[in-house]
């Protein structure tokens, strides 16, 4: 898989636009009338205040405490960057907050404390703890992190969890369960060597020992060598707890005949000779970031029987904390836990390990561009596995209930699992899937409008994100100047600039175009002007001759004009079954609307074709199509000749015998609302529609733009479907990121 690259400018722009930072606060209650204000604030708010004062448990019912986690740091150990201070750590803590939301729908707020004094830090967190349902400590250096966490656990009655310690430990434990399963070894028998006696290393060893590993089978090493009983140099109470009775004094000594190596140290700490000296079927978790102690290639070169995991996403078996902390807190919050104890962590590890041993859902394989199966290269689930949200929190919650950590046990575990499924954003896996499919495809993509800075930025992102080769139609000087103005001067060498002046194929293109257009009133001069001077036509001719795999255009001209130009080269019109499908993404839902591009006033047969094309797009996106033909009437009432064609279209699909759900005609609320559908028990949809076929292009345009402007929906499209080539037409108000999304769709050949 190609490595994702980005520039300093891109990273800064991501944090700057559309608003500074990575999250915002939104109200969950109406705040429009005087009555709303009276209930939300004074005097209505006094009632829950008094109830909570009398019974503090009610804070979980009447405030956001039960779904709110604080991400707290003092910035003394930020990523691998060292002590950047409180403010320097804020982008990381904001990032952690959005991961909580994205993966487990946990609301989170980042707090940066400007102190290196553990006592001050402890006091500050203890005083604010009542606000939250849990506290996630982050990027605090050892040994202060041990003192801070231990004291806060004693002094707070909510979960306090230092993710750098326990998050890594939980995922490491999950991987170890499966690695030992594959190598036929038992945890109580294996010899384990750990290199790196910091926060993560000590937590890993503690958790593994609580799972059954024997104390004297575990050898911990730091920069000064083995931590053995009797050693005095560079010791502290946390290291002393793991001092083993051993003759080994160096990492090299310790690695002889070891079954397991756990590394949370530094790049290159492990040599091939050390790996060679390990026991049969060795397990090597080289988790140093960004570069592992030894790469999987180096380890496998001397030991093909090794099972290797790293902290990196571009190797198999990534030990990634995002598999743990969101779901641990989700389960803990949902039982109003007093703490996250070892049993809850072990339950999390065992649930993760069990998921990896099962068949992998198709959508995960689709997202990663390869079919995954339990084995040496897949011992830990991937972060985008849809099972994580409904499998791990219940296991954590059950362990919390079994050990007395729950204030409010869950009575119906099946119902709880169902609510967890409903918490997840259904759009995220779809977008993830198409991005990964595009990365696998490595399509050469034509960006037709090389004079537009947005298009150029999208082309640079397409190439630097490892999606494929970007071909930009434009003049070299103009492209260079615009890239330099956008702060991307170094990208000139990366992009391929194409035009009529530098292509060897211009005469071939013109011959092809003349054959198509000579009986449509075009002479040779017209043909030259179109092929050599119109970028939409030139780009289409490149695509038609196999000189690229996809085309993105339309960011600078109205879509009707662009479509007319494309039609000089391809049959992309209503007569030939072309259709425009627009995807609306809002609040975790995705709905396709069509036709938004080609058919101005479709009749019933056209509407049936539009439905078929939209269903194809839905399946390309990994959705099971449910089509609703929408109108202002529902199943024939009120009667109107304008709605007649919407009434007839499903009958056309009946005759065609299609293999997807469809129904209509119906109003939009009946189409999208399962409750409203209950009033029509005869209707055939098994849930809310995800494709709306509308009566005409003007109603499609109004619907999409209204949702975009009033509701803030994300719009992807219109996606051009039903032609042989992969062409996507942007709209003129698209950002560079929107144009990149269209290129990704073209690379996946969606439509």
Q: What would the DSSP string read from start to end of 498-553?
A: E-TTT-TTHHHHHHHHHHHHGGGT--HHHHHHHHHH-HHHHHHHHHHTTS-SEEEE
- Determine phi and psi for 551, rounding to 5 degrees: -140, 135
Specify whether 123 is catalytic: no
Q: What is the rounded distance in angstroms from the CA atom of residue 357 to the CA atom of residue 237?
A: 38
Nearest residue to 353 via CA among 238, 492, 514, 187:
187
CB-based contact 356:388 (threshold 8 Å): no
Angle between helices 90-104 and 388-402 (to 10 degrees): 90
CB-based contact 743:465 (threshold 8 Å): no
Classify residue 578 by its DSSP letter.
Answer: -
Nearest residue to 726 via CA among 741, 748, 746, 740:
746
β-bridge mates for residue 526, sequence order: none
Strand-pair category, 579-586 with 589-594:
antiparallel
Strand-pair category, 307-310 with 626-630:
unpaired
From the number of C-beta atoms within 10 Å of its C-beta (0-12, 13-18, 19+), residue 320 rates as middle
Find the DSSP H helices in 624-710. Answer: 641-656, 668-672, 674-677, 697-706
Classify residue 361 by its DSSP letter.
Answer: P
Instruction: Give the annotated binding-site residues.
Output: 78-85, 138-139, 164, 289
Name the catalytic one among 22, 65, 90, 96.
Answer: 96
CB-based contact 730:738 (threshold 8 Å): yes
Q: What is the rounded distance in angstroms from the CA atom of residue 354 to the CA atom of residue 157?
A: 31
Nearest residue to 217 via CA among 175, 268, 180, 264:
180
Instruction: Give the annotated binding-site residues for a divalent metal cation.
Output: 138-139, 164, 289
Instruction: Give the annotated binding-site residues for NADP(+).
Output: 78-85
Classify residue 244 by its DSSP letter.
Answer: B
**Which residue reads 């490892």 in tokens?**
466
Residues carrying an active site annotation:
96
């Amino acid at each position: 898989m190609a490595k994702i690259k980005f520039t300093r400018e891109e990273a800064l722009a991501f944090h700057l636009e559309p608003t500074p930072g990575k999250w915002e606060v939104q109200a969950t209650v109406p705040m429009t009338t005087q009555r709303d204000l009276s209930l939300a604030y004074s005097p209505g708010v006094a009632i829950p205040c008094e109830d909570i004062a009398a019974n503090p448990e009610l804070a979980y019912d009447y405030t956001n405490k039960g779904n709110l986690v604080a991400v707290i740091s003092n910035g003394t150990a930020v990523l691998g960057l060292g002590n950047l201070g409180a403010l320097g750590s804020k982008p990381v803590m904001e990032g952690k907050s959005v991961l909580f939301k994205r993966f487990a729908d946990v609301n989170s707020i980042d707090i940066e404390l400007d102190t290196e004094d553990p006592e001050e830090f402890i006091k500050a967190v203890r005083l604010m703890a009542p606000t939250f349902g849990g506290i996630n400590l982050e990027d605090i250096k050892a040994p202060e992190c041990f003192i801070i966490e231990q004291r806060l656990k004693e002094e707070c009655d909510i979960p306090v969890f230092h993710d750098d310690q326990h998050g890594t430990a939980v995922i490491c434990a999950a991987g170890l369960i499966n690695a030992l399963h594959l190598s036929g070894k038992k945890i109580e028998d294996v010899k384990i060597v750990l290199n790196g006696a910091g926060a993560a290393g000590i937590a890993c060893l503690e958790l593994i020992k609580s799972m059954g590993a024997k104390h004297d089978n575990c050898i911990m090493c730091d920069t000064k060598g083995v931590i053995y009983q009797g050693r005095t140099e560079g010791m502290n109470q946390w290291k002393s707890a793991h001092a083993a009775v051993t003759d080994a004094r160096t990492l090299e000594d310790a690695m002889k005949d070891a079954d397991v190596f756990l590394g949370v140290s530094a790049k290159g700490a492990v040599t091939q000779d050390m790996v060679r000296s390990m026991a049969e079927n060795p397990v090597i978790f080289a988790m140093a970031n960004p570069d592992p102690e030894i790469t999987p290639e180096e380890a496998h070169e001397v030991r093909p029987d090794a099972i290797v995991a790293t902290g990196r996403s571009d190797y198999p078996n990534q030990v990634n904390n995002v598999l743990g902390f969101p779901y641990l807190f989700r389960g803990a919050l949902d039982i109003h836990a007093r703490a996250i104890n070892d049993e809850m962590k072990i339950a999390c590890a065992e649930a993760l390990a069990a998921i990896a041993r099962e068949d992998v859902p198709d959508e995960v394989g689709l997202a990663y561009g390869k079919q995954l199966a339990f084995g040496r290269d897949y011992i830990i689930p991937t972060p985008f596995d849809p099972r994580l949200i409904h499998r791990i929190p219940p296991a954590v919650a059950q362990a919390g209930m079994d050990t007395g950590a729950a204030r409010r046990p869950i009575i119906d575990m099946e119902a709880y699992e169902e609510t967890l499924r409903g918490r997840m954003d259904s759009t995220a896996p779809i977008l993830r899937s198409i991005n990964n499919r595009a990365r696998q495809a490595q399509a050469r993509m034509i960006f037709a409008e090389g004079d537009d800075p947005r298009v150029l930025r999208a082309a640079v992102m397409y190439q630097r994100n490892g999606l494929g080769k970007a071909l930009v139609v434009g003049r070299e000087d103009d492209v260079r100047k615009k890239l330099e103005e956008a702060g991307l001067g170094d990208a000139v060498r990366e992009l391929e600039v194409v035009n009529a002046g530098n292509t060897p194929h211009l005469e071939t293109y013109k011959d092809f175009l003349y054959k198509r257009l000579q009986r449509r009133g075009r002479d040779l001069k017209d043909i030259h002007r179109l092929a050599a001077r119109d970028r939409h036509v030139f780009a289409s001719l490149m695509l038609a001759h196999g000189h690229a795999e996809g085309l993105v255009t339309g960011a600078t001209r109205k879509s009707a004009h662009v479509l007319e130009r494309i039609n000089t080269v391809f049959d992309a019109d209503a007569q030939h079954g072309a259709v425009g499908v627009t995807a609306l993404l809002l609040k975790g839902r995705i709905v396709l609307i069509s036709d938004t591009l080609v058919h101005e006033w479709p009749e019933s047969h056209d509407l049936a074709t539009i439905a078929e094309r939209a269903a194809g797009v839905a399946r390309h996106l990994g959705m099971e199509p449910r089509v609703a033909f929408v109108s202002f009437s529902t199943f024939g009432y009120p009667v109107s000749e304008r709605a007649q064609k919407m009434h007839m279209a499903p009958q056309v699909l009946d005759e065609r015998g299609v293999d997807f759900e469809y129904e209509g005609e119906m109003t939009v609320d009946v189409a999208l609302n399962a409750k409203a559908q209950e009033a029509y028990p005869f209707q055939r949809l098994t849930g809310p529609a995800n494709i709306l076929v509308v009566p005409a292009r003007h109603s499609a345009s109004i619907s999409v733009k209204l949702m975009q402007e009033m509701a803030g929906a994300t719009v992807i499209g219109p996606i051009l479907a039903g032609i042989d080539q992969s062409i996507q037409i942007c709209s003129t108000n698209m950002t560079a990121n929107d144009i990149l999304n269209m290129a990704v769709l073209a690379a996946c050949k969606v439509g």
